[in-house]
Amino acid sequence: MIANSFELLGYFAEHIALKKTQKSTMDHVSIKISSINLNGSTSVLSLKFEFRLDYDDSSDNTIDYMCGYLLKDEHLKEMIRTGIQPDGKFISTSEIDDLVSEMVYMVFPFLRQHLYSLTSDGPNPILIPNLDIKRLGLRQGIEFKRPVVDPAKIN
């Protein structure tokens, strides 16, 4: 990507639906980009990240983060504009996926820390490991599952 072609403007938790108890244990975490939007007049690209959290005693917990980026490059703006269809769906190309991957890479440490802070009120906070998050894009999400332990294999 072109150096300095965008900058992170900020992020916020747009929607939080989180129900857990002090005894809840995390079973599954998934992360995906659920929407993309470009404001043509301000050149602000918005990405919505959806974190889905399933505990052993509750499911359908979601936290949606909205992240804003200022696009500084006209070529990038045009690429995004052509990808957004009239019905709101988005057609991605490898070049757009590369751009989004860089954006994800920039904001993910902040989202990771916020998620930990939201869930650190009990003995099982969510701490997503450090990983190469660039594979999270418009075409695929990332999932983490707690391994199932076979009691017969425990000494």
Is residue 154 in a domain? no
The pLDDT of residue 125:
77
Highest mean pLDDT among 24-28, 52-56, 119-123, 147-151: 52-56
The pLDDT of residue 63:
92
CA dihedral 139, 39, 86, 35 (to 10 degrees): 30
Contacts of 90 (CB under 8 A, 6+ apart): 36, 83, 84, 138
pLDDT band with cut points at 50, 70 and 90 for residue 95 = confident
Which domain CATH number covers 113?
3.10.420
The encoded tokens of residue 127 equal: 């701490």
Is residue 152 in a domain? no
Residues 134 and 40: their CA atoms lie apart, in Å, by: 26
pTM (global) more than 0.75? yes
Mean pLDDT for the chain overall:
81
Is residue 57 in a domain? yes
Is residue 79 in a domain? yes
Is residue 151 in a domain? no
User: pLDDT by residue (tens digit) across 54-90?
Assistant: 888 888 889 999 999 999 988 888 888 887 776 666 7
Is residue 148 in a domain? no
The pLDDT of residue 62:
92
**What domain range is 115 assigned to?**
6-143
CB 93 within 8 A of CB 79: yes
Number of domains in the chain: 1
Is residue 149 in a domain? no
Residue 2, pLDDT above cutoff 60 = no
Is residue 47 in a domain? yes
Residue 6, pLDDT above cutoff 80 = yes
The runs of H, that is alpha helices, within 1-155 are 74-83, 94-119
